[in-house]
């Protein structure tokens, strides 16, 4: 049987997963309309794809392996790895938004690898869709990125992924995905499947998985030969070393399921078990003398965070796994599958995690708390490195669509955060602005942006490289409101305090000295007592809640917490709570620490 290998790529939310789901249903691989490729609980809650996933369908006697990739820029390196191992991409572009930063990134990578994309202008049902313009913008982008003549000759389809419709021309009447399926068979070169039996095995993993019984799993494309259960193989590592191993289990992908098979052939994508040290980009070979595949580059991390045991006064109350040893074991397991993650174990009292962005790190933290872990993290920081005596830091390109009325204040805020406005264009409903700026300047900016644009703006950014350090940036303009008491927060106190800033907690929340219960618009930290009650003689109502008009609190989530926290604070994360605290709990300890810090540079 012939095989085609494709990946579906796009900017976040342009409709990759919805279209993949529709392809699965149209080809009869999945019957239940509620089953989605976004199968992970966090993916379903957030409505985004976090992990790239393999699936397949059959169309007119051909097997098509398809990899659904995440569109969020934090997972960009995941997409890059996948692109190495497939033959064509479906480039999905929202008919209203047109090409966005991540469209450019994934298209650039695809063109560099010599792939000829099939373009799907999607969501043409949107009232503000402008499919013809979106198509022209895609064509311009191809040219700008230096596409070859052959690549410029790409096929375009117009789709409503959500309704399972793809058309060759906008006014075609068909109500199914057949035109897209036929285009895939016609345009994607068949994978090399012939003569598999006469050749030596050569397979290269582009993704990792883990199973409690089988151990590490490697998902890869078989370029040559046959992989058989029970066979001995050689793993040629990218550092030149060779390790021997034995294949204990093989799966191929059928529909959204894995299917255990005794052997898999050249041309197919398979998942193999039995190689505990195999890694992305290694070559799995039949004999030790074979030439390995070129390595697959993995992007460097851009941000770092410290993770440590929760030593707050409430530490260990809510978590099931709270010790350094338990946390360490969990993180070691994460390294098995989380390719963009690096961990420095060398410090005595914390683990330093390096990742690809705030979302990449916060997804890990969220998964851990759901599994019952409790811990604290420090403020995320951009990684600063030194090369030839020069300090370098990560930079990003941020593309912002904002209502025209808020454009001025966005520009002002980002300029203060060392952003440089490189392009600006008035569209009918909004202003599009492009900034180049240090990652540091974007850290902690997103929630401010949402408030600034009243939720009507969009901001997406992607890493563009390390550049010279841009100078100091003041991340926050607000101060923290710190409890000076242990006890329980009372509605009366919170009511009084909400005049001075934004409150993070509900009445009746237990608090401790040093816990941060809100912020103040004034830049200075403020010590407050949230446990104070009104003098009883002044009561008119018997129940406090009835008498008081409390603004709903700004509840902390892991992401919000990571955005607003400061350098001298920790974010406490437990299965039940997310709290913010000062590293030093008492006012005197904080003052002392600050004095000491100031003294050091003077010496
Ligand atoms: N109007 C309209 N909305 C669509 C269509 N296809 C998908 N959507 C919606 O667009 C949103 C994003 O869809 P997804 O399929 O999750 O997008 P994605 O590209 O997989 O997103 P990431 O994987 O997170 O990058 C969802 O709310 C879909 O319901 C379409 O054809 N028309
Ligand atoms: Mg998706």
Residue 376 phi/psi, 5-degree rounding, is: -130, 155
In sequence order, what E strands does 403-546 have?
420-426, 431-438, 458-468, 479-483, 487-488, 501-503, 510-511, 515-520, 526-528
Following DSSP, what letter does each residue of 241-259 receive, concatenated?
Answer: -EEEEE--EEEEEEBTEEE
Residues 306, 355 contacting (CB under 8 angstroms): no
Q: pLDDT band at 535, cuts 50/70/90?
A: low
Q: Is the pLDDT of residue 499 over 80?
A: yes
For 86, the token pair is: 């497939």
- Which residue is closest in CA terms to ligand 1's atom 2? 123
Q: Is the pLDDT of residue 100 over 90?
A: no
Q: Is the pLDDT of residue 33 over 90?
A: no
Q: Answer yes or no: is the C-beta of 15 below 6 A from any ligand 1 atom.
A: yes
Q: Which of 92, 141, 102 is nearest to 464 (CA)?
A: 102
Q: Which of 449, 437, 421 is nearest to 473 (CA)?
A: 437
| Closest ligand 1 atom to Cα of 47 | 16
CB atoms under 10 Å from CB of 203, counted, come to 29
- The count of residues in the chain is 603
In sequence order, which residues have a C-beta less than 8 Å from that of residue 46 and are 6 or more positions away?
none
- pLDDT at residue 239, as a whole number: 87
What is the Å distance from ligand 2's center to 11 Cα?
Answer: 10
| Closest ligand 1 atom to Cα of 160 | 31
Ordered structural domains, the chain, with CATH: 3-187 (3.40.50.300), 196-285 (2.40.30.10), 304-381 (3.30.70.870), 385-468 (3.30.70.240), 479-597 (2.40.50.250)
Residue 467 phi/psi, 5-degree rounding, is: -135, 165
Q: Answer yes or no: is the C-beta of 457 below 6 A from any ligand 1 atom.
A: no
What is the Å distance from ligand 1's center to 258 Cα?
Answer: 25
Query: In whole numbers, what is the pLDDT of the chain averaged over residues?
Result: 91
User: HSE-up of 386 (CA within 13 Å, CB side)?
Assistant: 2
- Alpha-carbon distances of 65 from 16, 23, 68, 114, 202, rounded to whole Å: 15, 12, 10, 19, 18
Burial class of 131 by CB neighbour count within 10 A (0 to 12, 13 to 18, 19+): buried
Q: Answer yes or no: is the C-beta of 70 below 6 A from any ligand 1 atom.
A: yes
Give me the residues paired with residue 579 across strands: 572
Residues 201, 155 contacting (CB under 8 angstroms): no
Number of H helices, E strands in the chain: 16, 35
- pLDDT at residue 462, as a whole number: 82
Q: pLDDT band at 225, cuts 50/70/90?
A: very high
What is the Å distance from ligand 1's center to 519 Cα?
Answer: 36
Instruction: Work out the percent of the chain whose per-residue pLDDT is above 70.
Output: 97
Residue 259 phi/psi, 5-degree rounding, is: -125, 125
Question: Which one of 13, 91, 106 would you pick to mutate in the ligand 1 pocket, going by the greatest count of ligand atoms within 8 A of its CB?
Answer: 13
- pLDDT at residue 603, as a whole number: 43
In sequence order, which residues have a C-beta less than 8 Å from that of residue 73 and are 6 or more positions away?
12, 101, 102, 105, 357, 460, 461, 462, 463
What is the Å distance from ligand 2's center to 462 Cα?
Answer: 17
Q: Which of 107, 27, 97 is nearest to 66 (CA)?
A: 27
Q: Answer yes or no: is the C-beta of 106 below 6 A from any ligand 1 atom.
A: no
What is the Å distance from ligand 2's center to 52 Cα?
Answer: 8
Burial class of 225 by CB neighbour count within 10 A (0 to 12, 13 to 18, 19+): buried
- pLDDT at residue 205, as a whole number: 95
Q: Is the pLDDT of residue 506 over 60?
A: yes
Question: Which one of 23, 162, 164 would you pick to mutate in the ligand 1 pocket, going by the greatest count of ligand atoms within 8 A of its CB?
Answer: 162
In sequence order, which residues have a C-beta less than 8 Å from that of residue 196 and are 6 or more positions away?
224, 225, 226, 265, 266, 267
Shortest-distance ligand to the CA of residue 46: 1
User: HSE-up of 276 (CA within 13 Å, CB side)?
Assistant: 5
Q: Answer yes or no: is the C-beta of 103 below 6 A from any ligand 1 atom.
A: no
Q: Answer yes or no: is the C-beta of 285 below 6 A from any ligand 1 atom.
A: no
Q: Answer yes or no: is the C-beta of 12 below 6 A from any ligand 1 atom.
A: yes
- pLDDT at residue 545, as a whole number: 46
Residue 386 phi/psi, 5-degree rounding, is: -120, 130
Q: Answer yes or no: is the C-beta of 14 below 6 A from any ligand 1 atom.
A: yes
Shortest-distance ligand to the CA of residue 11: 1
What is the Å distance from ligand 1's center to 13 Cα?
Answer: 5
Q: Answer yes or no: is the C-beta of 440 below 6 A from any ligand 1 atom.
A: no
Q: Answer yes or no: is the C-beta of 123 below 6 A from any ligand 1 atom.
A: yes
What is the Å distance from ligand 2's center to 70 Cα?
Answer: 5
Q: Answer yes or no: is the C-beta of 582 below 6 A from any ligand 1 atom.
A: no
What is the Å distance from ligand 2's center to 210 Cα?
Answer: 22
Shortest-distance ligand to the CA of residue 163: 1
- Which residue is closest in CA terms to ligand 1's atom 24? 48
Kindly report which listed range (43-57, 316-330, 362-376, 423-437) carries the lowest average pLDDT score.
423-437
- pLDDT at residue 430, as a whole number: 82
Q: Which residues surround ligand 2, an ion (CB under 5 A)?
A: 16-17, 49
Q: Mean pLDDT throughout 198-216?
A: 92
Q: pLDDT band at 339, cuts 50/70/90?
A: confident
d(CA 418, CA 159): 40
Q: Is the pLDDT of residue 539 over 80?
A: no
3 state DSSP class of 218? strand
Shortest-distance ligand to the CA of residue 15: 1
**Interior angle at CA 360, CA 354 and CA 362, nearest 5:** 95
Q: Answer yes or no: is the C-beta of 161 below 6 A from any ligand 1 atom.
A: yes
- pLDDT at residue 336, as a whole number: 85
Burial class of 446 by CB neighbour count within 10 A (0 to 12, 13 to 18, 19+): middle
What is the Å distance from ligand 1's center to 17 Cα?
Answer: 7
What is the Å distance from ligand 1's center to 14 Cα?
Answer: 5
Instruction: Work out the percent of the chain whose per-residue pLDDT is above 90.
Output: 75
Q: Answer yes or no: is the C-beta of 125 below 6 A from any ligand 1 atom.
A: yes
Q: Answer yes or no: is the C-beta of 131 below 6 A from any ligand 1 atom.
A: no
- pLDDT at residue 602, as a whole number: 44
| Closest ligand 1 atom to Cα of 37 | 20
Q: Answer yes or no: is the C-beta of 122 below 6 A from any ligand 1 atom.
A: yes
| Closest ligand 1 atom to Cα of 12 | 25
Q: Answer yes or no: is the C-beta of 16 below 6 A from any ligand 1 atom.
A: yes
Tell me: the pLDDT tens digits for 394-421? 999 998 988 989 999 999 999 999 999 9
Q: Answer yes or no: is the C-beta of 340 below 6 A from any ligand 1 atom.
A: no
Tell me: the pLDDT tens digits for 145-172? 999 999 999 999 999 999 999 999 999 9
Q: Answer yes or no: is the C-beta of 10 below 6 A from any ligand 1 atom.
A: yes
Q: Three-class SS string for 330-373?
A: HHHHHHHHCCCCEEECCCCCCEEEEECCHHHHHHHHHHHHHCCE
Give me the residues paired with residue 425 across strands: 432
- pLDDT at residue 131, as a whole number: 96
């Amino acid at each position: 049987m012939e095989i085609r290998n494709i990946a579906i790529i796009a900017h976040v939310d342009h409709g990759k997963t919805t279209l993949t789901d529709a392809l699965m249903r149209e080809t009869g691989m999945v019957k239940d309309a509620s089953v989605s490729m976004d199968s992970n609980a966090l993916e379903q809650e957030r409505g985004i794809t976090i992990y790239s996933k393999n699936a397949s369908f059959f169309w007119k006697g051909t097997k098509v392996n398809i990899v659904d990739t995440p569109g969020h820029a934090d997972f960009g390196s995941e997409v890059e790895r996948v692109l190495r191992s497939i033959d064509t991409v479906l480039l999905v572009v929202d008919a209203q938004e047109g090409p966005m930063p991540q469209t450019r990134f994934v298209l650039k990578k695809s063109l560099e690898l010599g792939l000829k994309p099939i373009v799907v202008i999607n969501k043409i049902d949107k009232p503000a869709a402008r499919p013809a313009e979106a198509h022209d913008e895609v064509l311009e982008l191809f040219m700008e990125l230096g596409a070859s003549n052959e690549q410029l000759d790409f096929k375009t389809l117009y789709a409503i992924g959500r309704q399972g419709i793809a058309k060759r021309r906008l006014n075609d009447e068909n109500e199914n995905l057949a035109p897209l399926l036929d285009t895939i068979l016609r345009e994607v070169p068949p994978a090399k499947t012939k003569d598999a039996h006469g050749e030596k095995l050569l397979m290269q993993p582009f993704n990792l998985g883990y199973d409690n019984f089988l151990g590490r799993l490697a998902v890869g494309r078989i370029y040559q030969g046959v992989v058989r259960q029970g066979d001995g193989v050689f793993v040629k590592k990218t550092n030149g070393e060779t390790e021997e191993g034995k294949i204990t289990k093989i799966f191929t992908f059928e529909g959204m399921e894995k299917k255990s098979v005794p052997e898999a052939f050249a041309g197919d994508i398979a998942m193999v078990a039995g190689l505990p040290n195999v890694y992305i980009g290694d070559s799995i070979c039949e004999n030790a003398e074979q030439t390995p595949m070129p390595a697959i580059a993995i992007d460097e991390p851009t941000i770092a965070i410290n993770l440590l045991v929760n030593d707050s006064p409430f530490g260990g109350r809510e978590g099931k796994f709270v010790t350094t040893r338990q946390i360490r074991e969990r993180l070691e397991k994460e390294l098995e599958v989380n390719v963009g993650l690096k961990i420095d174990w060398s410090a005595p009292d914390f683990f330093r995690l390096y990742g690809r962005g705030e979302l990449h790190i916060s997804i890990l933290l969220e998964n851990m708390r759901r599994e019952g872990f409790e811990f604290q993290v420090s403020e995320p920081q951009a990684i600063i490195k030194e090369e030839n005596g020069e300090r370098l830091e990560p930079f990003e390109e941020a593309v912002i669509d904002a209502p025209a009325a808020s454009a001025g204040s966005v520009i002002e805020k980002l300029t203060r955060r060392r952003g440089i406005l490189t392009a600006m264009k008035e569209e009918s409903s909004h202003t599009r602005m492009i900034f180049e700026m240090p990652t540091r300047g974007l850290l902690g900016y997103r929630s401010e942006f949402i408030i600034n644009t009243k939720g009507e703006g969009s901001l997406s950014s992607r890493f563009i490289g390390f550049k010279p350090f841009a100078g100091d940036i003041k991340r926050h303009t607000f101060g923290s409101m710190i409890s000076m008491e242990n006890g329980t927060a009372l509605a009366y106190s919170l009511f009084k305090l909400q005049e001075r800033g934004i409150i993070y907690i509900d009445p009746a929340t237990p608090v401790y000295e040093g816990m941060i219960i809100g912020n103040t618009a004034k830049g200075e930290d403020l010590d407050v007592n949230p446990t104070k009650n009104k003098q009883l003689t002044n009561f008119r109502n018997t129940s406090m809640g009835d008498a008081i008009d409390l603004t709903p609190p700004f509840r902390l989530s892991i992401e919000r917490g990571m955005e607003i926290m400061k350098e001298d604070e920790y974010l406490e994360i437990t299965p039940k709570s997310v709290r913010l605290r000062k590293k030093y709990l008492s006012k005197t300890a904080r003052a002392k620490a600050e004095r000491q810090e100031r003294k050091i540079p003077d010496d």
